[in-house]
Structure 1
Amino acid sequence: MKAILTFHSIDDRGTVLSFPPATFARMIEEILEGGVKICSLDQLLCPETDNALTITFDDGMRSVYENALPILKDANVPSHLYLTTGVVGRTNNWPTQPRGAPAFDMMDWQELEACVDAGMKIESHTVSHPNLCRLDRQQIEEECETADLSIEKQFGRRPEHFAYPYGIYDARVAEIVGQKYQTCVTTALLPIGKKLKAAELPRLDSYYLQKRRDYRHFFSPTASGYLRLRHGLRVFRSMF
């Protein structure tokens, strides 16, 4: 089995986007102790790869640089950051941010450079974090292209992977964006299945992983069943 994990902020604030640094460190340590490989997205999606995870972060919160990066460096494991380029060095107050959403400081380009030097790959999460379903084709392409050019200018590498803002997409958006990247990731709470849709890859939200007592048996039947139940509840609620 294999899966993509998604994090936002690594901090002790207790928000819906927060994951405690101590728990993050323990998770990484115990996953590796349990024999599960932590690898890049490209490695994860190779057909021969099994019993593996990929670590991803969304948006670009400064706490990733401050609290997650030292842990990842010590463990010598790769990761990917889906960057919202329009708020680099600012806060996460993008135009579509819901009222009452927790505020976070974002990394600046120098801090992002340190992440890259430590083995993190910077991927695309648009410029302004919009709901892509509300944009026309030209606007979607501009959101992607402008973000990609900023990342390429800073790091000499064009993003190869993409995360839908808020996990929101439809068939039209997937068709437009899917042509631009090797993969696009969603917020579907599932492991990677045998039948891959490169433009609709699921990820496991770290919010549902915080209370595990032990991460050594990451893909145990009990743990996997719990996540599938949470996914089913999400789908059910979205129907009403």
Structure 2
Amino acid sequence: MKAILTFHSIDDSGSVLSFPVRKFAQLITEVVESKTRICTLDQIVRPETDNAIAITFDDGMESVFKNALPVLKAAGVPAHLYLTTACVGGNNRWPTQPSAAPEFEMMSQAQLEHCVEGGMLIENHTATHPDMRALSPGEVRDECLQADRWIDAAFGRKPKHFAYPYGYYNAEVAAFVGSHYETAVTTKLKMLSSQDSMAELPRLDTYYLQKRGSYRSFFSFQANTYLKLRNGLRIIRQMVS
């Protein structure tokens, strides 16, 4: 068993992008005590890696700095942050954000620097969080490379990994992303398998799993059945959007 976990905001608001603060600390403690390895994306995609998870955060919400970083530092475990670079120091009201989506403050560059010092790796989530299916090839390239340059200039490291905004992409986008990054993650709700494309890796969105109690219940038969249903509904929604 191995999986990439998705988080957005770590807070107690109950929004669709939120994971409760206490439950996040409990989750990390349970994973560490279970002897499941919390590893980097580089490590988890290796064929020999098993019984492992990778922790990822999308967008760059300030709550990750305030509520997740202290827990991760105390446990001494790595995580990846897929950053939307044009929103650093602002909020998540990018142009394609649905009006009903909850609003969150984003991290400042100084807070991001503390995250890096604490062992978090900053990855590419584009500059402005667009629906990449609607972009021309030149616009896809610009979104990716603009974010690459910002991250490299700020932290001295070019991103190796990518997350598609909203999980939206097509064959042309995946081909470009696959040629520029070692991995790219989607919103497909599945555990990792040896058949996965490095440009289309699935993740487990923890919002759908936060009511399941213990960490181990994330990977139960019932949870897997539930995720298959949610994934099917998500695919239909993406097809009609």
Q: TM-score, normalised by structure 1?
A: 0.96
Residue in structure 1 matched with residue 186 of structure 2 by the alignment: 186
Residue in structure 1 matched with residue 63 of structure 2 by the alignment: 63
Q: Which runs of 5+ in 1 are unaligned?
A: none
3-state SS, counterpart of residue 66 of structure 1: helix
Question: Distance in 2 between the 1:130 and 1:213 partners?
Answer: 34
Deviations 1:152-205 (A, max 9, x none): 001110000000011001111101121110011000000111212011000111
Question: Distance in 1 between the 2:103 and 2:96 partners?
Answer: 13
3-state SS, counterpart of residue 179 of structure 1: helix
Q: Is the 8 A contact 1:43 1:49 kept in 2?
A: yes
Question: Distance in 2 between the 1:97 and 1:43 partners?
Answer: 33
Deviations 1:78-125 (A, max 9, x none): 000000000100111111111121110000111000000010000000
Q: Is the 8 A contact 1:33 1:216 kept in 2?
A: no
Residue in structure 2 matched with residue 42 of structure 1 by the alignment: 42
Q: Which runs of 5+ in 2 are unaligned?
A: none
Which amino acid in structure 2 is aligned with residue 56 of structure 1? T
Which amino acid in structure 2 is aligned with residue 136 of structure 1? S
Alpha-carbon shift at residue 11 of structure 1 (Å) = 0.3
Matched, 1:124 2:157: no
Q: Which runs of 4+ in 1 moved over 4 A?
A: 236-240
Alpha carbons of structure 1 residues 100 and 233: separation in structure 2 relative to 1, 3 Å: closer
Task: After TM superposition, list the pairs within 5 Å mapping 1:1-240 onto structure 2.
Answer: 1-216=1-216, 218-236=218-236, 238=238
3-state SS, counterpart of residue 159 of structure 2: coil
Alpha carbons of structure 1 residues 105 and 179: separation in structure 2 relative to 1, 3 Å: same
Number of residue pairs the alignment of both structures matches: 240
After superposition, the CA RMSD in angstroms is 1.3
Deviations 1:53-86 (A, max 9, x none): 0000000000000000001011111000000000
Alpha-carbon shift at residue 236 of structure 1 (Å) = 4.8
Which amino acid in structure 1 is aligned with residue 183 of structure 2? T
Q: TM-score, normalised by structure 2?
A: 0.96
Q: Is the 8 A contact 1:60 1:83 kept in 2?
A: yes
Question: Distance in 1 between the 2:238 and 2:153 partners?
Answer: 39
Q: Is the 8 A contact 1:31 1:218 kept in 2?
A: no
Q: Is the 8 A contact 2:209 2:218 kept in 1?
A: no
Q: Is the 8 A contact 1:32 1:216 kept in 2?
A: no
Alpha-carbon shift at residue 24 of structure 1 (Å) = 0.4
Alpha-carbon shift at residue 237 of structure 1 (Å) = 5.1
